[in-house]
Amino acid sequence: MADVSVRPARPDDAAEIGRIQVETWRSAYAEILPSAVLDGVTVDDAAATWGAAISEPPDRRHHVLVAQEQDWRVGFAALGPADDLETDDPEPATTVALAVILVEPRWGRRGHGSRLLAAVVDHARGDGMTRAVAWIPEGDAVSREFLISAGWAPDGLVRALDTGASELREIRLHTSLQGLG
């Protein structure tokens, strides 16, 4: 069996997380995000952003996690308290947002996404969170089906983001952290 794990990200992971994000977006989101957006995202900029998120999180409930296979970092996830909830959202004080979960395509279908998601749930529960939400691009069927298969469901909310090149529509998924295994 392969040596696989998920662990909290360290500052020296930032460059690799940035590379994974940019390369994964450029391959998996080529049909979802405008090329001008994909071309405008650099590994250095992404690494700097992730470096700050790892080294200086806004509070103790913000986490960046890394999936590994042997010595390779193959994916990552980030979570923190949800800060863009609707006024009628239940459990606002204990709702966590899954900001991102990405596994580099060449490492797909090896359980890394499932391990990352399980670690996200464990960290959120450890922080006293009871509910989770995630915004995903409407055209990202892979992420949507992955989360639905793990017990998440669309909650009917949709938003449009201005990418500077076009509009990106996102849907929100949610789940109770009480029932997830």
The domain of 114 spans 4-176
Domain count, the chain: 1
Rounded mean pLDDT of 149-167? 94
Give the tens place of pLDDT for each residue, 36-71: 899 999 999 999 999 999 999 999 999 999 999 999
User: Do 77 and 117 touch, CB atoms closer than 8 A?
Assistant: yes
174: CB partners within 8 A, 6+ apart? 131, 132, 133, 134, 152, 153, 155
Token code pair at residue 134? 């995630």
Rounded Cα–Cα distance for residues 37 and 56 (Å): 26
- For residue 49, being part of any structural domain is answered with yes
For residue 148, the domain's CATH number is 3.40.630.30
Helix, strand or coil, per DSSP, at residue 97: strand
- For residue 146, being part of any structural domain is answered with yes
Amino acid 178 reads Q
- For residue 181, being part of any structural domain is answered with no
Give the tens place of pLDDT for each residue, 99-129: 999 999 888 788 899 999 999 999 999 999 9
